[in-house]
A and B are shown apart, each in its own frame.
Chain A
Amino acid sequence: MTKTMMKTKHAVYALLGTALFYASCSSKSEQAVAPNIANETITQASLKLTNEANAGDTTSCTYTFHVDNNGNVTSTDSTALILKANSKYDVKVYMLDQTQSPVFVVSNEIKDRQNYHLFFYQPTPINVAPVISNTSPYIPGTPVSQLNPLNLTIARTDHDTNNPPLEVGLTALFTTGAASTGNLRWILRHQPNAKNGTFAPGSSDLDVNFVTTIK
Chain B
Amino acid sequence: MTTKFKFLFILTVISAFSAEAQISSSLSPIHLSGMVYDVKTHIGLPAASIAVKGTATGVQSDQDGHYTLTVNRGAIRIHCEYLGYISMDTLLMLSGNRTFDLPLKPSSRALAQVNIQAVTSVRKEIATQNLAIIEGSELERTRGLSLGDALKSVTGVTTFQTGPSISKPVIHGLTGTRVLILNNGVSLQAQQWGQEHAPEIDPFIANQIQVIKGAAGIRYGADAIAGVVSVHPKQLPTDTGTMDGEINAVGMTNSRLGAFSAMLEGALGKKLAGFSYRLQGTVKRSGNTSTPNYILGNTGIREDDFSASLQYHHKNYGIEGYYSNFNTKLGIEYDTEVGSITDLQQKIAIGHPVTYYDFTYNIDRPYQTVNHSTAKIRGFLNTSDSSKLELQYSYQVNTRQEYEQLSFSTSLAPAIYLQIHTSAAELNYEHHDGGGFSGSLGLSGMNQGNIRMYGYLIPNYVDYDGGAYVIEKFTHRKWLFEAGARYDYRWLRAFAFDANEAKINTTTTSYSGISATAGATYHLTDNLKLSGNYSAAFRPPSINELYIDGVHQSIGEFEVGDANLKTERANDFSLNLNYASNWFLVDLQGYYNQISDFIFEEPTNQYYHAQSGALLKFQYTQANVYFRGADLNLTIKPVDSLEINSKTAFIYAWNQSIHDYLIYTPPTRLQNGLNYHFGTWGIFHNISAGAENIYVARQTHVPTGYDFAPAPAAYSLYNAHLDFRLPINNTYVDFDIAVNNLTNVAYKDYLDRFRYFADEPGRNIIFRLRMPFKILSNNK
A contact residues vs B (CB 8 Å cutoff): 1, 6, 10, 13-14, 17-18, 21-22, 24-25, 27, 29-31, 33-42, 45, 65, 68-74, 76, 106, 109-110, 113, 116-117, 141, 188, 190, 192-194, 196, 200-208
B357-392 to A contact mask, C-beta < 8 Å, 1/0: 100000000000000000000000001100101010
Residue of B338, B406, B502 with most chain A CB atoms under a 10 A cut-off:
B406
CB of B454 closer than 8 Å to a CB of A: yes
- In the bound complex, residues from chain B placing their C-beta under 8 Å from that of A27 are 421, 449, 462
Task: Indicate if the CB atoms of A40 and B455 lie closer than 8 Å.
Answer: no
User: Which of B411, B423, B449, B500 sits near A69, CB closer than 8 Å?
Assistant: B500
Task: Indicate if the CB atoms of A109 and B335 lie closer than 8 Å.
Answer: no
- In the bound complex, residues from chain A placing their C-beta under 8 Å from that of B408 are 40, 106, 109-110, 113, 117, 205
16 contacts between A and B (CB under 8 A): A13-B391, A17-B425, A21-B447, A30-B460, A33-B496, A33-B504, A37-B453, A38-B454, A40-B411, A42-B611, A69-B501, A70-B456, A73-B610, A200-B354, A203-B337, A203-B343
CB of B717 closer than 8 Å to a CB of A: no
Task: Indicate if the CB atoms of B452 and A34 lie closer than 8 Å.
Answer: yes
When A17-B425, A30-B460, A207-B339 are in contact, do A201 and B405 touch as well, CB less than 8 Å?
no
- In the bound complex, residues from chain B placing their C-beta under 8 Å from that of A73 are 608-611
What is the total number of residues of chain B having a CB less than 8 Å from a CB of chain A? 71
User: Which of A10, A17, A31 sits near B504, CB closer than 8 Å?
Assistant: A31
When A69-B497, A117-B407 are in contact, do A22 and B346 touch as well, CB less than 8 Å?
no
CB of B712 closer than 8 Å to a CB of A: no
Minimum CB–CB distance for B29 against chain A, Å: 38
B598-614 to A contact mask, C-beta < 8 Å, 1/0: 00000000001111111
B304-335 to A contact mask, C-beta < 8 Å, 1/0: 00000000000000000000000000000011
CB of B689 closer than 8 Å to a CB of A: no
User: Which of A18, A70, A141 sits near B497, CB closer than 8 Å?
Assistant: A70
Task: Indicate if the CB atoms of A21 and B407 lie closer than 8 Å.
Answer: no
Task: Indicate if the CB atoms of B405 and A190 lie closer than 8 Å.
Answer: yes
Minimum CB–CB distance for A42 against chain B, Å: 5
User: Looking across the interface, which residue of chain A has its beta carbon closest to that of B500?
Assistant: A68
B385-401 to A contact mask, C-beta < 8 Å, 1/0: 00101010100000000
Task: Indicate if the CB atoms of A39 and B342 lie closer than 8 Å.
Answer: no
Task: Indicate if the CB atoms of A36 and B429 lie closer than 8 Å.
Answer: no
- In the bound complex, residues from chain A placing their C-beta under 8 Å from that of B742 are none
CB of B635 closer than 8 Å to a CB of A: no
B337-351 to A contact mask, C-beta < 8 Å, 1/0: 111101100100010
When A31-B460, A39-B409, A41-B611 are in contact, do A203 and B389 touch as well, CB less than 8 Å?
no
- In the bound complex, residues from chain A placing their C-beta under 8 Å from that of B496 are 33
Task: Indicate if the CB atoms of A202 and B443 lie closer than 8 Å.
Answer: no
Task: Indicate if the CB atoms of A71 and B337 lie closer than 8 Å.
Answer: no
A33-B460, A71-B456, A202-B354 given; name 16 further pairs at CB < 8 Å.
A10-B389, A35-B497, A38-B455, A39-B411, A40-B411, A69-B456, A69-B499, A76-B609, A117-B408, A141-B346, A188-B407, A190-B405, A200-B346, A201-B354, A204-B339, A207-B614
Minimum CB–CB distance for B507 against chain A, Å: 13
Task: Indicate if the CB atoms of B354 and A17 lie closer than 8 Å.
Answer: no
Minimum CB–CB distance for B440 against chain A, Å: 11
CB of B524 closer than 8 Å to a CB of A: no
Closest 7 CB pairs of A and B: A204-B339, A207-B613, A40-B409, A25-B447, A109-B408, A194-B355, A36-B456
Minimum CB–CB distance for A190 against chain B, Å: 4
Within 8 A of A (CB), among B256-314: 297
Task: Indicate if the CB atoms of A22 and B445 lie closer than 8 Å.
Answer: yes
Task: Indicate if the CB atoms of A202 and B335 lie closer than 8 Å.
Answer: yes
Q: Give the total number of A-B pairs whose CB atoms are below 8 A apart.
A: 176
CB of B466 closer than 8 Å to a CB of A: yes
Task: Indicate if the CB atoms of A206 and B612 lie closer than 8 Å.
Answer: yes
- In the bound complex, residues from chain B placing their C-beta under 8 Å from that of A41 are 611
Minimum CB–CB distance for B447 against chain A, Å: 4
Q: Complex formed: what's the CA distance from A196 to B353 in Å?
A: 14
Task: Indicate if the CB atoms of A205 and B455 lie closer than 8 Å.
Answer: no
- In the bound complex, residues from chain B placing their C-beta under 8 Å from that of A113 are 407-408
Q: Complex formed: what's the CA distance from A74 to B383 in Å?
A: 63
Task: Indicate if the CB atoms of A39 and B549 lie closer than 8 Å.
Answer: no
Task: Indicate if the CB atoms of B429 and A10 lie closer than 8 Å.
Answer: yes
Minimum CB–CB distance for B406 against chain A, Å: 6
Minimum CB–CB distance for A121 against chain B, Å: 15
CB of B684 closer than 8 Å to a CB of A: no
Minimum CB–CB distance for B473 against chain A, Å: 17
Minimum CB–CB distance for B394 against chain A, Å: 11
User: Looking across the interface, which residue of chain A has its beta carbon closest to that of B460?
Assistant: A30
CB of B410 closer than 8 Å to a CB of A: yes
User: Which of A39, A70, A200 sits near B415, CB closer than 8 Å?
Assistant: A39
Residue of A1, A39, A69, A70 with most chain B CB atoms under a 10 A cut-off:
A39
Minimum CB–CB distance for B317 against chain A, Å: 13
Task: Indicate if the CB atoms of B453 and A39 lie closer than 8 Å.
Answer: no
Q: Complex formed: what's the CA distance from A152 to B75 in Å?
A: 82
Q: Complex formed: what's the CA distance from A46 to B133 in Å?
A: 61
User: Looking across the interface, which residue of chain A has its beta carbon closest to that of B381?
Assistant: A13
- In the bound complex, residues from chain A placing their C-beta under 8 Å from that of B427 are 13-14, 17-18
- In the bound complex, residues from chain B placing their C-beta under 8 Å from that of A38 are 415, 454-455
Task: Indicate if the CB atoms of B497 and A204 lie closer than 8 Å.
Answer: no
- In the bound complex, residues from chain B placing their C-beta under 8 Å from that of A194 are 334-335, 354-355
User: Which of A18, A37, A205 sits near B425, CB closer than 8 Å?
Assistant: A18
Residue of B346, B350, B407, B427 with most chain A CB atoms under a 10 A cut-off:
B407
Task: Indicate if the CB atoms of B498 and A69 lie closer than 8 Å.
Answer: yes
Minimum CB–CB distance for A113 against chain B, Å: 6
- In the bound complex, residues from chain A placing their C-beta under 8 Å from that of B497 are 33, 35-36, 69-70
Task: Indicate if the CB atoms of B406 and A40 lie closer than 8 Å.
Answer: yes
Task: Indicate if the CB atoms of B443 and A18 lie closer than 8 Å.
Answer: yes
Q: Complex formed: what's the CA distance from A110 to B408 in Å?
A: 6
- In the bound complex, residues from chain A placing their C-beta under 8 Å from that of B346 are 141, 200
Q: Complex formed: what's the CA distance from A54 to B342 in Å?
A: 38
Task: Indicate if the CB atoms of A29 and B391 lie closer than 8 Å.
Answer: no
Task: Indicate if the CB atoms of A205 and B550 lie closer than 8 Å.
Answer: no
Q: Complex formed: what's the CA distance from A200 to B342 in Å?
A: 11
- In the bound complex, residues from chain B placing their C-beta under 8 Å from that of A68 are 499-500
CB of B654 closer than 8 Å to a CB of A: no
User: Looking across the interface, which residue of chain A has its beta carbon closest to that of B427?
Assistant: A14
Task: Indicate if the CB atoms of A40 and B423 lie closer than 8 Å.
Answer: no
User: Looking across the interface, which residue of chain B has its beta carbon closest to that of A24?
Assistant: B423
- In the bound complex, residues from chain A placing their C-beta under 8 Å from that of B611 are 41-42, 45, 65, 73, 205-208
Task: Indicate if the CB atoms of A70 and B549 lie closer than 8 Å.
Answer: yes
Q: Complex formed: what's the CA distance from A36 to B549 in Å?
A: 12
Q: Complex formed: what's the CA distance from A2 to B539 in Å?
A: 38
- In the bound complex, residues from chain B placing their C-beta under 8 Å from that of A45 are 611
CB of B95 closer than 8 Å to a CB of A: no
CB of B495 closer than 8 Å to a CB of A: yes
Q: Complex formed: what's the CA distance from A155 to B22 in Å?
A: 69
Minimum CB–CB distance for A16 against chain B, Å: 10
Task: Indicate if the CB atoms of A14 and B342 lie closer than 8 Å.
Answer: no
- In the bound complex, residues from chain B placing their C-beta under 8 Å from that of A141 are 346
Q: Complex formed: what's the CA distance from A71 to B452 in Å?
A: 15
Task: Indicate if the CB atoms of B455 and A39 lie closer than 8 Å.
Answer: yes
User: Which of B383, B413, B425, B449 sits near A30, CB closer than 8 Å?
Assistant: B449
- In the bound complex, residues from chain B placing their C-beta under 8 Å from that of A14 are 427, 442-443
CB of B459 closer than 8 Å to a CB of A: yes
Task: Indicate if the CB atoms of B612 and A193 lie closer than 8 Å.
Answer: no
Task: Indicate if the CB atoms of B609 and A71 lie closer than 8 Å.
Answer: no
- In the bound complex, residues from chain A placing their C-beta under 8 Å from that of B466 are 18
CB of B692 closer than 8 Å to a CB of A: no
